[in-house]
A and B are shown apart, each in its own frame.
Chain A
């Protein structure tokens, strides 16, 4: 058995045991389903409401993916720009830090006022939470590699533009992807929270409606969907990393 299959097996067994324990606790404790529904009950609800769920999942997934793409692009460009023209870093830094001191939930009403109830405000909110880890990780990656390799290019006759294209841009890619991998774990969460505040569709809207109807089983379906969607996003980013950084050994890419 390879260490990887072993790890997957241990993880799978752990989750299975937890779910079994939950099921057993609900049945033996005789808890009413509007307090804590059994996993089997949640699964049945999920199957029953599947046709209804499709559009909600699609909305949230769209917000999360577009937000990730926007946030990652802005964070990465800002990192490259800062490394190329240090003054832009000095200008951007206070704004960036300020944006991180204000929680997204607090900014959400403003965004909704400015950009409306639709897709735009949610994409911007996800992007706001995403760009920071990407910026930090890209900047660190550029700094780590810079001096030695930039000197190499200059010593061979290269200009500053060569240094940017040959060294800084490629050096930032693994960092940006590492930041994206972290950001992906809370992109769906950020999208759902912004849907709590306003919106006509999305997992957040589904959960709010379920809460108003005291449908605890449906809330659990929503939670499970968030977890699954997040896992899919993270796996997609890991695959993207494998494709974009083929020189890195596999263990460095998780």
Chain B
């Protein structure tokens, strides 16, 4: 349902001379219905660029070739919801109101979104913080709130850019366990998640399938499906990242 074929994205040098930065080089990748795919790769390999391509957020000056396939809603709008690498919370909105931005932007009626937002706040461990300003929340709480905002769009395809990237390893592990337990895709097959990260364990905990990218320009060097009790061979994944 979500795909890129031979996608190449290059950024011309900011000021005249020099070579263009090729972020992605003929990348082909597909995410199917009901699937949770993690894209793993070193910093700067083009992970955020890939998600921006799907979200329709590439900057104007980027040179793009290849095909970008995104599922559309019946009214022709994108069926995707994007969560930025930095949380993007608005400092002038309280927690609940920040979450509601997802519903407003996606056109979800307020009467339906508001009760859901309140319920999800509790489920996301933010109960009692409805009226907190973003600067009063911890880094982990901010990222959970940003994820909650993304969920409130009710869009079936989530594009998550290092949802817990800004956290220390211990907190991140706890967040990942929690995110896995929330089950973003498992309940119904109409949903899909593409998550990018440079953390092997995040990918292992969460994904049905892991795609490993090379350093810039990003290409796919390795691809594994989760199977069995142990899910993934962690050593093999680490080795493919180093290659």
Residues of A within 8 A of B (CB): 148-149, 151-158, 162, 166-167, 170-171, 173, 245, 247-249
Contact = CB atoms under 8 A, between A and B. Distances in A.
Contacts of A155: 55-57, 80-84, 159
Best-buried of A173, A245, A247 by chain B (most CB within 10 Å): A247
Interface string B170-197: 0000000000000000000000000000
B81 A157 contact: yes
Contacts of B149: 156
Contacts of B90: 149, 166-167, 170
Interface of B: 55-57, 77-78, 80-84, 86, 88, 90-93, 101-102, 104-107, 133-135, 149-150, 153, 155, 159
Contacts of B84: 148, 151-152, 155
A195 B134 CA distance: 48
A245 B90 CA distance: 13
Contacts of B81: 155-157
A252 to B, nearest CB: 11
B135 A149 contact: no
B166 to A, nearest CB: 14
A22 to B, nearest CB: 46
A37 to B, nearest CB: 50
Given A157-B106, A167-B90, 13 more contacts: A149-B88, A152-B82, A152-B88, A154-B105, A155-B80, A155-B81, A155-B159, A156-B149, A157-B78, A157-B153, A162-B104, A171-B92, A173-B92
Nearest to A170: B92
Contacts of A148: 84, 86, 88
B133 A156 contact: no
A156 B55 CA distance: 8
Contacts of B92: 170-171, 173, 245, 247
A76 to B, nearest CB: 16
Contacts of B153: 156-157
A156 B82 contact: yes
Contacts of A151: 57, 84, 88
A151 B90 CA distance: 12
B104 to A, nearest CB: 7
A171 B92 CA distance: 8
A248 B106 CA distance: 28
8 closest residue pairs by CB, A with B: A155-B82, A158-B105, A152-B88, A156-B105, A157-B106, A247-B133, A155-B55, A170-B92
Task: Give the residue among B82, B90, B135, B153 with the most A Cβ atoms within 10 A.
Answer: B90
Nearest to A151: B57
B105 A162 contact: yes
A157 B103 CA distance: 9
B104 A154 contact: no
Nearest to A167: B90
B188 to A, nearest CB: 20
Most buried by B among A156, A158, A247, A248: A156
Contact of A156 (B86, B134, B135, B150): B150
A155 B101 CA distance: 11
Nearest to A152: B88
19 contacts: A148-B84, A149-B88, A149-B90, A152-B101, A154-B56, A155-B56, A155-B81, A155-B84, A155-B159, A156-B149, A156-B150, A157-B81, A157-B105, A166-B105, A170-B92, A170-B93, A171-B92, A247-B134, A247-B135
B213 to A, nearest CB: 21
Contacts of B106: 156-158
B163 to A, nearest CB: 13
B101 A166 contact: yes
Contact of A157 (B88, B107, B134): B107
A162 B104 CA distance: 8
A230 to B, nearest CB: 29
Nearest to A248: B91
Contacts of B82: 152, 155-156
A53 B133 CA distance: 47
A114 B92 CA distance: 43
Nearest to A244: B92
A153 B106 CA distance: 9
A166 B56 contact: no
Given A148-B88, A170-B90, A247-B135, A153 B107 contact: no
Nearest to B94: A247
A153 B101 contact: yes
Nearest to B153: A156
A170 B92 CA distance: 8
Contacts of A158: 104-106
